[in-house]
Amino acid sequence: MVFQLDSRENPKVKHFIRLLNNGKYREEQGLFAIEGARLCMDALQSGIPIAELFYTEEAAKKYNTIVADLGQKALKTYQISEGIAKKMGDTTHPQGVFCTCKTLDKPDDLVTIGTDSRILAMENIQDPANLGAMLRTAEAVGIKGVICSAGCCDMYHPKVLRASMGAVFRLSVRLEENLPKMLRGLTGMGVLTMAAVPDASACPVTSLRFDRSAVAVIGNEGNGLTKEAIEACEVRVTIPMKGRAESLNASMAAGILMWEMLR
């Protein structure tokens, strides 16, 4: 059954906007908001439960198959006006398709370390676009697991979802309260833990042999890794650079390290 929403002040509209903009509200509700036909479909195809579907009449025509598939799985479906879609949208030109979804269950043991694992760990990444780009690259190069410290931005932030191109739905992600402690444990198990640092005296990543499980650890965009995280790792690594640049963007550095681990 499709319900009609005609007012921008409708509680359902306000609920969606709060989910889109408020991380604490997302956590309290156990829900997150998605904007865009493709991203909504990515969530559905990845097995994410669809709680609510919102769409405009124009979007139903343009994205007929996607809206139909989403409508079959959504618990509730609402048709909205173009004006409401503009208010709900986080982008300049919303496509007119929106979903609310149940947050993914991320148990502590979801990311497992095998005998030949390649893992990306991120500490205190604050820029949602950076976090999303790293997740997208991780999936693209074949990384199976990602670890995010408690200080990272919310992975259900709309910019993370868009930048990840749906990778956030498909990767195994572990949320780690105490990343240095975890890294010390992995180092003790014989896993190659690598702290990425912008220091020419560190070990060039190109000189390492990846003949065992490895974890590349990327730090905050402005401050890098904490002292505790660096000391918990087996080796400090750097990416050899030419020219006068002192460092790389965090997502670019992460992409290079992941590629080297999987080469």
pLDDT 10s digits, 171-187: 988 889 999 999 999 99
Tell me if 171 sits within 8 A of 146, measured CB to CB.
yes
pLDDT 10s digits, 54-69: 999 999 999 999 999 9
43, 49, 51, 53: CA torsion to nearest 10? 30
- Identify the three-state secondary structure at position 183: helix
Domain boundaries, the chain: 2-102, 118-262
If one looks up domain 2-102 in CATH, what number appears? 3.30.1330.30
Q: How does residue 114 score in pLDDT terms, banded at 50, 70 and 90?
A: low
Task: Tell me the pTM.
Answer: 0.89
Residue 115: what are its φ and ψ, rounded to 5°? -80, -20
pLDDT 10s digits, 128-150: 999 999 999 999 999 989 999 99
Give the mean model confidence (pLDDT) for residues 196-220: 92
The answer on pLDDT for 110 being more than 70 is no
Residue of higher predicted confidence among 104 and 117: 117
87, 130, 192, 223, 231 from 159: Cα distances, Å: 17, 9, 31, 22, 32
61, 103, 236, 247 from 240: Cα distances, Å: 51, 39, 13, 10
Domain over 118-262 is classified CATH 3.40.1280.10? yes
